[in-house]
Structure 1
Amino acid sequence: MFLEILLGVTAWQLVTRKKRPSFGNLFRPKSTDRSATLGKAGEAKAHAALRDSLTALCGADYHLFNGPIIIEHAPGADFPTAEIDHLAVTPFGIFVFETKNWSGYVGPASVPGFLTRTDRDGNAQERRSPLKQNRTKVAFFRGRLPSLWPVAGAGLLVSDDAHLSPALHSDLLALSDLPHWLRARRDSYGGMPPVDVQKAAGGIALLIDTSGAAMDSHRARLTRQNLPFRFPQ
Protein backbone atom coordinates (compact mmCIF):
# COMPACT_ATOMS: atom_id res chain seq x y z
CA MET A 1 0.00 0.00 0.00
CA PHE A 2 2.81 2.37 0.92
CA LEU A 3 4.54 1.59 -2.39
CA GLU A 4 1.38 2.45 -4.36
CA ILE A 5 1.05 5.80 -2.56
CA LEU A 6 4.72 6.58 -3.16
CA LEU A 7 4.40 5.82 -6.86
CA GLY A 8 1.25 7.98 -7.11
CA VAL A 9 2.93 10.97 -5.41
CA THR A 10 5.99 10.62 -7.65
CA ALA A 11 3.83 10.56 -10.79
CA TRP A 12 1.89 13.63 -9.63
CA GLN A 13 5.14 15.52 -8.99
CA LEU A 14 6.41 14.67 -12.48
CA VAL A 15 3.21 15.94 -14.10
CA THR A 16 3.05 19.19 -12.12
CA ARG A 17 6.77 19.81 -12.63
CA LYS A 18 6.30 19.48 -16.38
CA LYS A 19 3.45 21.99 -16.43
CA ARG A 20 4.97 24.49 -14.00
CA PRO A 21 6.78 27.33 -15.86
CA SER A 22 10.20 28.33 -14.62
CA PHE A 23 10.74 31.82 -13.25
CA GLY A 24 13.16 32.42 -16.12
CA ASN A 25 10.47 31.73 -18.69
CA LEU A 26 8.00 33.95 -16.86
CA PHE A 27 10.21 37.01 -17.15
CA ARG A 28 11.93 36.28 -20.46
CA PRO A 29 10.44 38.59 -23.15
CA LYS A 30 8.78 36.80 -26.04
CA SER A 31 9.97 37.48 -29.56
CA THR A 32 6.60 39.04 -30.50
CA ASP A 33 6.83 41.32 -27.46
CA ARG A 34 10.31 42.40 -28.54
CA SER A 35 9.09 43.04 -32.08
CA ALA A 36 6.23 45.14 -30.74
CA THR A 37 8.60 47.16 -28.54
CA LEU A 38 11.03 47.77 -31.41
CA GLY A 39 8.18 48.65 -33.72
CA LYS A 40 6.64 51.18 -31.36
CA ALA A 41 10.03 52.76 -30.64
CA GLY A 42 10.75 53.05 -34.36
CA GLU A 43 7.38 54.63 -35.10
CA ALA A 44 7.77 57.14 -32.26
CA LYS A 45 11.24 58.06 -33.54
CA ALA A 46 9.95 58.52 -37.09
CA HIS A 47 6.96 60.56 -35.92
CA ALA A 48 9.21 62.95 -33.99
CA ALA A 49 11.57 63.34 -36.96
CA LEU A 50 8.65 64.02 -39.29
CA ARG A 51 7.19 66.62 -36.96
CA ASP A 52 10.55 68.40 -36.58
CA SER A 53 11.25 68.38 -40.34
CA LEU A 54 7.75 69.51 -41.31
CA THR A 55 7.71 72.28 -38.71
CA ALA A 56 11.07 73.56 -39.95
CA LEU A 57 9.85 73.51 -43.54
CA CYS A 58 6.16 74.46 -43.26
CA GLY A 59 5.78 76.19 -39.91
CA ALA A 60 2.29 75.32 -38.69
CA ASP A 61 0.89 74.76 -42.18
CA TYR A 62 0.87 70.95 -42.23
CA HIS A 63 -1.04 68.05 -40.68
CA LEU A 64 0.54 64.86 -39.38
CA PHE A 65 -1.99 62.17 -38.56
CA ASN A 66 -1.54 60.15 -35.40
CA GLY A 67 -1.81 56.37 -35.59
CA PRO A 68 -3.08 53.78 -35.72
CA ILE A 69 -4.22 54.57 -39.27
CA ILE A 70 -6.34 51.94 -41.02
CA ILE A 71 -7.72 52.16 -44.56
CA GLU A 72 -10.20 49.85 -46.27
CA HIS A 73 -8.59 49.65 -49.68
CA ALA A 74 -10.35 46.52 -50.94
CA PRO A 75 -13.96 46.32 -49.67
CA GLY A 76 -15.43 42.85 -49.94
CA ALA A 77 -12.05 41.14 -50.31
CA ASP A 78 -10.76 38.52 -47.90
CA PHE A 79 -8.22 41.02 -46.65
CA PRO A 80 -9.68 44.50 -47.23
CA THR A 81 -7.70 46.64 -44.76
CA ALA A 82 -4.16 47.97 -44.52
CA GLU A 83 -2.20 49.85 -41.87
CA ILE A 84 -0.36 53.11 -42.50
CA ASP A 85 2.53 54.08 -40.25
CA HIS A 86 2.61 57.83 -40.94
CA LEU A 87 0.51 60.15 -43.07
CA ALA A 88 1.41 63.81 -43.64
CA VAL A 89 -0.41 66.62 -45.46
CA THR A 90 1.68 69.57 -46.65
CA PRO A 91 1.17 72.52 -49.02
CA PHE A 92 3.20 70.59 -51.63
CA GLY A 93 1.68 67.15 -51.34
CA ILE A 94 0.38 64.25 -49.28
CA PHE A 95 2.92 61.69 -48.13
CA VAL A 96 2.54 58.09 -46.93
CA PHE A 97 5.48 56.73 -44.94
CA GLU A 98 6.31 53.10 -44.19
CA THR A 99 8.65 52.73 -41.19
CA LYS A 100 11.24 50.01 -40.66
CA ASN A 101 13.54 49.64 -37.67
CA TRP A 102 16.06 47.50 -39.58
CA SER A 103 19.74 47.51 -38.69
CA GLY A 104 22.69 46.47 -40.84
CA TYR A 105 23.43 47.08 -44.51
CA VAL A 106 20.34 47.40 -46.70
CA GLY A 107 20.73 46.95 -50.43
CA PRO A 108 18.91 45.70 -53.53
CA ALA A 109 17.71 42.11 -53.77
CA SER A 110 17.54 39.69 -56.68
CA VAL A 111 13.74 39.52 -56.33
CA PRO A 112 11.75 42.60 -57.46
CA GLY A 113 9.95 44.31 -54.58
CA PHE A 114 12.41 43.02 -51.98
CA LEU A 115 15.55 44.32 -50.26
CA THR A 116 18.50 42.49 -48.76
CA ARG A 117 19.45 43.22 -45.14
CA THR A 118 22.90 42.02 -44.09
CA ASP A 119 23.84 42.00 -40.41
CA ARG A 120 27.27 42.45 -38.88
CA ASP A 121 27.94 38.72 -39.01
CA GLY A 122 27.36 38.67 -42.76
CA ASN A 123 23.98 36.94 -42.54
CA ALA A 124 21.72 38.16 -45.34
CA GLN A 125 17.91 38.14 -45.38
CA GLU A 126 15.56 39.24 -48.12
CA ARG A 127 12.70 41.40 -46.87
CA ARG A 128 9.79 43.05 -48.59
CA SER A 129 10.56 46.61 -49.58
CA PRO A 130 8.69 49.39 -47.78
CA LEU A 131 7.99 50.90 -51.19
CA LYS A 132 6.28 47.68 -52.27
CA GLN A 133 4.20 47.70 -49.07
CA ASN A 134 3.26 51.33 -49.69
CA ARG A 135 2.14 50.86 -53.28
CA THR A 136 -1.52 50.00 -52.67
CA LYS A 137 -1.80 52.66 -49.96
CA VAL A 138 -0.53 55.41 -52.23
CA ALA A 139 -2.83 54.18 -55.01
CA PHE A 140 -5.77 54.24 -52.57
CA PHE A 141 -5.39 57.97 -51.91
CA ARG A 142 -4.57 58.83 -55.52
CA GLY A 143 -7.79 57.19 -56.58
CA ARG A 144 -9.95 59.04 -54.06
CA LEU A 145 -8.44 62.50 -53.73
CA PRO A 146 -8.38 65.34 -56.29
CA SER A 147 -5.57 64.94 -58.80
CA LEU A 148 -4.36 68.46 -57.92
CA TRP A 149 -3.21 67.02 -54.59
CA PRO A 150 -0.14 64.90 -55.39
CA VAL A 151 0.32 61.74 -53.30
CA ALA A 152 3.71 60.05 -52.84
CA GLY A 153 5.19 57.41 -50.58
CA ALA A 154 8.55 56.76 -48.95
CA GLY A 155 10.22 54.16 -46.77
CA LEU A 156 11.85 55.36 -43.55
CA LEU A 157 14.65 53.27 -42.03
CA VAL A 158 14.92 54.67 -38.54
CA SER A 159 17.69 52.63 -36.89
CA ASP A 160 20.96 54.48 -36.24
CA ASP A 161 22.68 51.25 -37.28
CA ALA A 162 21.03 51.12 -40.72
CA HIS A 163 23.30 51.73 -43.71
CA LEU A 164 21.64 52.21 -47.09
CA SER A 165 23.22 51.19 -50.38
CA PRO A 166 23.60 54.07 -52.89
CA ALA A 167 21.90 51.78 -55.40
CA LEU A 168 18.57 51.99 -53.58
CA HIS A 169 15.69 54.13 -54.83
CA SER A 170 15.77 57.71 -53.56
CA ASP A 171 12.39 57.17 -51.84
CA LEU A 172 14.11 54.81 -49.36
CA LEU A 173 15.43 57.08 -46.62
CA ALA A 174 17.41 57.15 -43.44
CA LEU A 175 16.00 59.67 -40.97
CA SER A 176 18.91 62.00 -41.72
CA ASP A 177 17.77 62.06 -45.38
CA LEU A 178 14.24 63.18 -44.50
CA PRO A 179 14.70 66.99 -44.45
CA HIS A 180 16.42 66.97 -47.85
CA TRP A 181 13.79 64.61 -49.33
CA LEU A 182 10.98 66.91 -48.19
CA ARG A 183 12.76 69.99 -49.55
CA ALA A 184 13.22 68.25 -52.89
CA ARG A 185 9.49 67.44 -52.96
CA ARG A 186 8.66 71.05 -52.20
CA ASP A 187 10.98 72.32 -54.93
CA SER A 188 9.66 69.86 -57.54
CA TYR A 189 6.12 71.05 -56.79
CA GLY A 190 7.22 74.33 -58.34
CA GLY A 191 4.70 77.09 -58.93
CA MET A 192 1.60 74.93 -58.56
CA PRO A 193 -1.19 76.25 -56.30
CA PRO A 194 -0.49 75.08 -52.73
CA VAL A 195 -2.55 72.26 -51.29
CA ASP A 196 -5.17 73.53 -48.86
CA VAL A 197 -3.89 71.59 -45.85
CA GLN A 198 -7.03 71.95 -43.75
CA LYS A 199 -9.34 70.90 -46.57
CA ALA A 200 -7.10 67.98 -47.59
CA ALA A 201 -6.76 66.75 -44.01
CA GLY A 202 -10.54 66.89 -43.62
CA GLY A 203 -11.06 64.86 -46.79
CA ILE A 204 -8.49 62.27 -45.75
CA ALA A 205 -10.10 61.96 -42.32
CA LEU A 206 -13.21 60.62 -44.07
CA LEU A 207 -11.14 57.87 -45.74
CA ILE A 208 -9.24 56.56 -42.73
CA ASP A 209 -10.03 55.08 -39.33
CA THR A 210 -7.76 55.94 -36.39
CA SER A 211 -9.70 54.12 -33.68
CA GLY A 212 -8.34 51.32 -31.55
CA ALA A 213 -11.29 49.19 -32.64
CA ALA A 214 -10.20 49.46 -36.29
CA MET A 215 -6.71 48.30 -35.41
CA ASP A 216 -8.09 45.41 -33.34
CA SER A 217 -10.25 44.30 -36.27
CA HIS A 218 -7.27 44.56 -38.61
CA ARG A 219 -5.13 42.41 -36.32
CA ALA A 220 -7.91 39.86 -35.88
CA ARG A 221 -8.29 39.62 -39.65
CA LEU A 222 -4.55 39.01 -40.00
CA THR A 223 -4.81 36.23 -37.45
CA ARG A 224 -7.75 34.61 -39.24
CA GLN A 225 -5.78 34.72 -42.49
CA ASN A 226 -2.83 33.06 -40.72
CA LEU A 227 -0.67 36.09 -41.44
CA PRO A 228 1.70 37.46 -38.79
CA PHE A 229 0.92 40.92 -37.48
CA ARG A 230 3.43 43.29 -38.98
CA PHE A 231 5.56 45.34 -36.66
CA PRO A 232 7.78 47.92 -38.33
CA GLN A 233 11.10 46.43 -37.25
Structure 2
Amino acid sequence: MFFEILLGVAAWKLLTRKKRPSIGDLFRHKPKDLSAALGEAGEAKAQAKLRDGLTALCGADYSLFNGPIIIEHAPGTDFPTAQIDHLAITPFGIFVFETKNWSGYISPASAPGFLTRTDRDGKAQDRRSPLEQNRTKVAFFRSRFPSLWPVAGAGLLVSEDAHLSPALHSDLLSRGDLSHWLRARRDSYGGMPPVDVGKATAAIALLVDASHAAMEAHRVRVSR
Protein backbone atom coordinates (compact mmCIF):
# COMPACT_ATOMS: atom_id res chain seq x y z
CA MET A 1 0.00 0.00 0.00
CA PHE A 2 2.83 2.38 0.93
CA PHE A 3 4.52 1.63 -2.39
CA GLU A 4 1.30 2.47 -4.31
CA ILE A 5 1.06 5.80 -2.48
CA LEU A 6 4.64 6.63 -3.45
CA LEU A 7 3.87 5.80 -7.08
CA GLY A 8 0.79 8.03 -7.00
CA VAL A 9 2.71 10.98 -5.54
CA ALA A 10 5.44 10.56 -8.14
CA ALA A 11 2.91 10.48 -10.96
CA TRP A 12 1.17 13.60 -9.63
CA LYS A 13 4.46 15.49 -9.49
CA LEU A 14 5.28 14.40 -13.02
CA LEU A 15 1.96 15.62 -14.37
CA THR A 16 1.89 18.92 -12.51
CA ARG A 17 5.48 20.08 -12.73
CA LYS A 18 6.14 23.07 -14.94
CA LYS A 19 7.53 22.25 -18.32
CA ARG A 20 10.73 24.06 -19.24
CA PRO A 21 10.10 25.93 -22.50
CA SER A 22 11.83 24.52 -25.54
CA ILE A 23 13.47 26.57 -28.28
CA GLY A 24 10.37 25.96 -30.40
CA ASP A 25 8.12 27.29 -27.62
CA LEU A 26 10.13 30.50 -27.45
CA PHE A 27 9.47 31.26 -31.10
CA ARG A 28 5.94 29.90 -31.32
CA HIS A 29 3.19 32.52 -31.72
CA LYS A 30 1.00 33.07 -28.70
CA PRO A 31 -2.62 31.96 -29.20
CA LYS A 32 -4.99 34.74 -30.18
CA ASP A 33 -7.37 36.02 -27.57
CA LEU A 34 -10.97 34.86 -27.68
CA SER A 35 -12.44 38.11 -28.99
CA ALA A 36 -10.00 38.18 -31.92
CA ALA A 37 -10.75 34.53 -32.73
CA LEU A 38 -14.50 35.16 -32.64
CA GLY A 39 -14.08 38.22 -34.82
CA GLU A 40 -12.14 36.30 -37.45
CA ALA A 41 -14.71 33.49 -37.40
CA GLY A 42 -17.48 36.02 -37.94
CA GLU A 43 -15.64 37.65 -40.83
CA ALA A 44 -15.16 34.26 -42.50
CA LYS A 45 -18.91 33.58 -42.23
CA ALA A 46 -19.71 36.99 -43.67
CA GLN A 47 -17.27 36.56 -46.56
CA ALA A 48 -18.85 33.23 -47.52
CA LYS A 49 -22.38 34.65 -47.31
CA LEU A 50 -21.43 37.69 -49.37
CA ARG A 51 -19.82 35.57 -52.06
CA ASP A 52 -22.91 33.36 -52.31
CA GLY A 53 -25.28 36.33 -52.49
CA LEU A 54 -23.22 38.28 -55.00
CA THR A 55 -22.72 35.26 -57.25
CA ALA A 56 -26.47 34.64 -57.28
CA LEU A 57 -27.17 38.27 -58.27
CA CYS A 58 -24.19 39.15 -60.46
CA GLY A 59 -22.74 35.91 -61.76
CA ALA A 60 -19.04 36.62 -62.17
CA ASP A 61 -19.48 40.38 -62.62
CA TYR A 62 -18.42 41.53 -59.17
CA SER A 63 -15.33 41.85 -56.99
CA LEU A 64 -15.09 41.00 -53.31
CA PHE A 65 -11.94 42.03 -51.47
CA ASN A 66 -10.87 39.37 -49.03
CA GLY A 67 -10.55 41.52 -45.93
CA PRO A 68 -9.51 42.85 -43.64
CA ILE A 69 -7.97 45.64 -45.68
CA ILE A 70 -6.55 48.98 -44.59
CA ILE A 71 -7.19 52.47 -45.95
CA GLU A 72 -5.38 55.67 -45.04
CA HIS A 73 -8.34 57.99 -44.66
CA ALA A 74 -6.85 60.62 -42.35
CA PRO A 75 -3.14 61.13 -43.15
CA GLY A 76 -1.20 63.26 -40.70
CA THR A 77 -3.50 62.49 -37.74
CA ASP A 78 -2.92 60.25 -34.72
CA PHE A 79 -5.12 57.57 -36.29
CA PRO A 80 -4.61 57.85 -40.06
CA THR A 81 -5.81 54.37 -40.98
CA ALA A 82 -9.03 52.39 -40.77
CA GLN A 83 -9.83 48.72 -41.20
CA ILE A 84 -12.48 47.48 -43.61
CA ASP A 85 -13.88 44.00 -43.05
CA HIS A 86 -15.46 43.47 -46.47
CA LEU A 87 -15.59 45.54 -49.65
CA ALA A 88 -17.80 44.54 -52.57
CA ILE A 89 -17.90 46.09 -56.05
CA THR A 90 -21.01 45.35 -58.10
CA PRO A 91 -22.69 46.76 -61.22
CA PHE A 92 -25.15 48.52 -58.88
CA GLY A 93 -22.77 50.01 -56.33
CA ILE A 94 -19.77 49.73 -54.03
CA PHE A 95 -20.52 48.41 -50.55
CA VAL A 96 -18.49 48.61 -47.34
CA PHE A 97 -19.43 46.05 -44.67
CA GLU A 98 -18.55 46.18 -40.98
CA THR A 99 -18.91 42.71 -39.44
CA LYS A 100 -19.78 41.94 -35.83
CA ASN A 101 -20.05 38.50 -34.22
CA TRP A 102 -22.25 39.76 -31.37
CA SER A 103 -24.83 37.56 -29.69
CA GLY A 104 -27.92 38.59 -27.75
CA TYR A 105 -30.65 41.12 -28.45
CA ILE A 106 -29.38 44.12 -30.42
CA SER A 107 -31.39 47.32 -30.12
CA PRO A 108 -30.92 51.10 -30.48
CA ALA A 109 -29.08 52.79 -27.62
CA SER A 110 -29.93 56.12 -26.05
CA ALA A 111 -26.54 57.53 -27.09
CA PRO A 112 -26.22 58.46 -30.78
CA GLY A 113 -23.93 56.16 -32.74
CA PHE A 114 -24.30 53.25 -30.31
CA LEU A 115 -26.30 50.04 -30.03
CA THR A 116 -27.31 48.12 -26.92
CA ARG A 117 -26.50 44.41 -26.70
CA THR A 118 -28.51 42.54 -24.07
CA ASP A 119 -27.45 39.00 -23.20
CA ARG A 120 -29.63 36.14 -21.98
CA ASP A 121 -29.05 37.11 -18.36
CA GLY A 122 -30.43 40.59 -18.99
CA LYS A 123 -27.05 42.30 -18.78
CA ALA A 124 -26.94 45.24 -21.20
CA GLN A 125 -23.91 46.87 -22.72
CA ASP A 126 -23.66 49.76 -25.16
CA ARG A 127 -21.36 49.27 -28.12
CA ARG A 128 -20.42 51.50 -31.01
CA SER A 129 -22.67 50.90 -33.98
CA PRO A 130 -21.14 49.29 -37.08
CA LEU A 131 -22.79 52.05 -39.12
CA GLU A 132 -20.96 54.67 -37.08
CA GLN A 133 -17.70 52.79 -37.57
CA ASN A 134 -18.37 52.72 -41.31
CA ARG A 135 -19.22 56.40 -41.65
CA THR A 136 -15.71 57.75 -42.37
CA LYS A 137 -14.86 54.79 -44.60
CA VAL A 138 -17.91 55.33 -46.80
CA ALA A 139 -17.13 59.07 -46.94
CA PHE A 140 -13.54 58.27 -47.95
CA PHE A 141 -14.60 56.32 -51.04
CA ARG A 142 -17.39 58.74 -51.95
CA SER A 143 -14.88 61.58 -52.02
CA ARG A 144 -12.69 59.74 -54.51
CA PHE A 145 -15.19 58.23 -56.92
CA PRO A 146 -17.68 59.75 -59.38
CA SER A 147 -21.24 60.08 -58.16
CA LEU A 148 -22.26 57.53 -60.79
CA TRP A 149 -20.48 54.97 -58.61
CA PRO A 150 -22.70 54.96 -55.51
CA VAL A 151 -21.03 53.93 -52.25
CA ALA A 152 -23.01 52.60 -49.28
CA GLY A 153 -22.24 50.87 -46.01
CA ALA A 154 -23.92 48.24 -43.88
CA GLY A 155 -23.38 46.53 -40.54
CA LEU A 156 -23.50 42.75 -40.72
CA LEU A 157 -24.26 40.84 -37.49
CA VAL A 158 -23.33 37.28 -38.30
CA SER A 159 -23.90 35.32 -35.09
CA GLU A 160 -26.82 32.89 -35.15
CA ASP A 161 -27.53 34.02 -31.59
CA ALA A 162 -27.97 37.67 -32.62
CA HIS A 163 -31.55 38.92 -32.59
CA LEU A 164 -32.14 42.32 -34.15
CA SER A 165 -34.74 44.79 -32.91
CA PRO A 166 -37.21 45.93 -35.60
CA ALA A 167 -36.37 49.49 -34.52
CA LEU A 168 -32.83 49.22 -35.92
CA HIS A 169 -31.82 50.96 -39.14
CA SER A 170 -32.38 48.85 -42.25
CA ASP A 171 -28.64 48.93 -42.98
CA LEU A 172 -28.03 46.78 -39.88
CA LEU A 173 -28.39 43.21 -41.07
CA SER A 174 -28.33 39.64 -39.94
CA ARG A 175 -26.82 37.04 -42.27
CA GLY A 176 -30.33 36.06 -43.29
CA ASP A 177 -31.11 39.67 -44.29
CA LEU A 178 -28.10 40.06 -46.57
CA SER A 179 -29.52 38.60 -49.80
CA HIS A 180 -32.66 40.72 -49.53
CA TRP A 181 -30.60 43.84 -48.79
CA LEU A 182 -28.46 43.27 -51.89
CA ARG A 183 -31.52 42.71 -54.08
CA ALA A 184 -33.10 45.92 -52.76
CA ARG A 185 -29.90 47.82 -53.62
CA ARG A 186 -29.91 46.35 -57.11
CA ASP A 187 -33.57 47.22 -57.66
CA SER A 188 -33.21 50.79 -56.40
CA TYR A 189 -30.33 51.29 -58.84
CA GLY A 190 -32.44 50.18 -61.80
CA GLY A 191 -32.17 52.32 -64.94
CA MET A 192 -28.76 53.80 -64.11
CA PRO A 193 -25.62 52.97 -66.14
CA PRO A 194 -23.95 49.96 -64.48
CA VAL A 195 -20.75 50.46 -62.54
CA ASP A 196 -17.75 49.24 -64.52
CA VAL A 197 -16.63 46.58 -62.04
CA GLY A 198 -13.16 46.19 -63.57
CA LYS A 199 -12.37 49.91 -63.51
CA ALA A 200 -13.80 50.37 -60.01
CA THR A 201 -11.80 47.41 -58.71
CA ALA A 202 -8.58 48.77 -60.22
CA ALA A 203 -9.24 52.21 -58.70
CA ILE A 204 -9.94 50.76 -55.25
CA ALA A 205 -6.83 48.58 -55.40
CA LEU A 206 -4.77 51.79 -55.49
CA LEU A 207 -6.41 53.02 -52.27
CA VAL A 208 -6.27 49.93 -50.06
CA ASP A 209 -3.52 47.87 -48.48
CA ALA A 210 -4.14 44.19 -47.73
CA SER A 211 -0.62 43.41 -46.50
CA HIS A 212 0.07 41.84 -43.13
CA ALA A 213 2.43 44.71 -42.28
CA ALA A 214 -0.31 47.30 -42.82
CA MET A 215 -2.73 45.33 -40.68
CA GLU A 216 -0.26 44.97 -37.83
CA ALA A 217 0.69 48.66 -37.94
CA HIS A 218 -2.99 49.59 -37.75
CA ARG A 219 -3.60 47.26 -34.80
CA VAL A 220 -0.66 48.78 -32.92
CA ARG A 221 -2.05 52.29 -33.40
CA VAL A 222 -5.56 51.50 -32.23
CA SER A 223 -4.33 49.51 -29.21
CA ARG A 224 -2.36 52.41 -27.74
**TM bucket normalised to smaller:** 0.7 to 0.9
Alignment pair present for 1:125 and 2:125: yes
TM-score, with normalisation over the residues of structure 2?
0.86
> 1: CA distance between counterparts of 2:80 and 2:172?
26
> 1: CA distance between counterparts of 2:182 and 2:120?
31
Match of 1:101 in 2: 101
* Alignment map for 1:192-207 (pairs within 5 Å): 192-207=192-207
Match of 2:162 in 1: 162
1:219 Cα shift?
1.3
Amino acid of the structure 2 residue aligned with 1:183 = R
TM-score, with normalisation over the residues of structure 1?
0.82
* Alignment map for 1:24-173 (pairs within 5 Å): 33-173=33-173
Amino acid of the structure 2 residue aligned with 1:222 = V
Gaps of 5+ in 2: 1-16, 20-29
1:209 Cα shift?
0.5
**Could you give the per-residue CA deviations for residues 64-113 of structure 1, whole angstroms, max 9, x where no partner exists?**
00123000000101110000000000000000000000000000100000
Does the 8 Å contact 1:101/1:159 carry over to 2? Answer: yes
> 1: CA distance between counterparts of 2:67 and 2:110?
33
1:145 Cα shift?
1.1
> 2: CA distance between counterparts of 1:127 and 1:68?
21
Higher relative contact order (CA 8 A, sep 6+): 1
Alignment pair present for 1:177 and 2:173: no
Match of 1:187 in 2: 187
> 1: CA distance between counterparts of 2:221 and 2:69?
16
Gaps of 5+ in 1: 1-20, 24-29, 227-233
Instruction: Give the length in aligned residue pairs.
Output: 199
**Could you give the per-residue CA deviations for residues 89-139 of structure 1, whole angstroms, max 9, x where no partner exists?**
000000000000000000010000000000000000000000000000000
* Alignment map for 1:208-227 (pairs within 5 Å): 208-223=208-223, 226=224
Does the 8 Å contact 1:68/1:211 carry over to 2? Answer: no
Give percent identity, aligned residues only.
Answer: 79
> 2: CA distance between counterparts of 1:68 and 1:131?
17
**Could you give the per-residue CA deviations for residues 125-171 of structure 1, whole angstroms, max 9, x where no partner exists?**
00000000000000000001111100000000000000000000000
Amino acid of the structure 1 residue aligned with 2:74 = A
> 1: CA distance between counterparts of 2:131 and 2:125?
17
> 2: CA distance between counterparts of 1:31 and 1:127?
26
1:44 Cα shift?
0.2
Does the 8 Å contact 1:108/1:114 carry over to 2? Answer: yes
RMSD of the TM alignment (CA)? 1.7
Task: Look up the SS of the partner of 1:76 in the other structure.
Answer: coil
Task: Look up the SS of the partner of 1:88 in the other structure.
Answer: strand
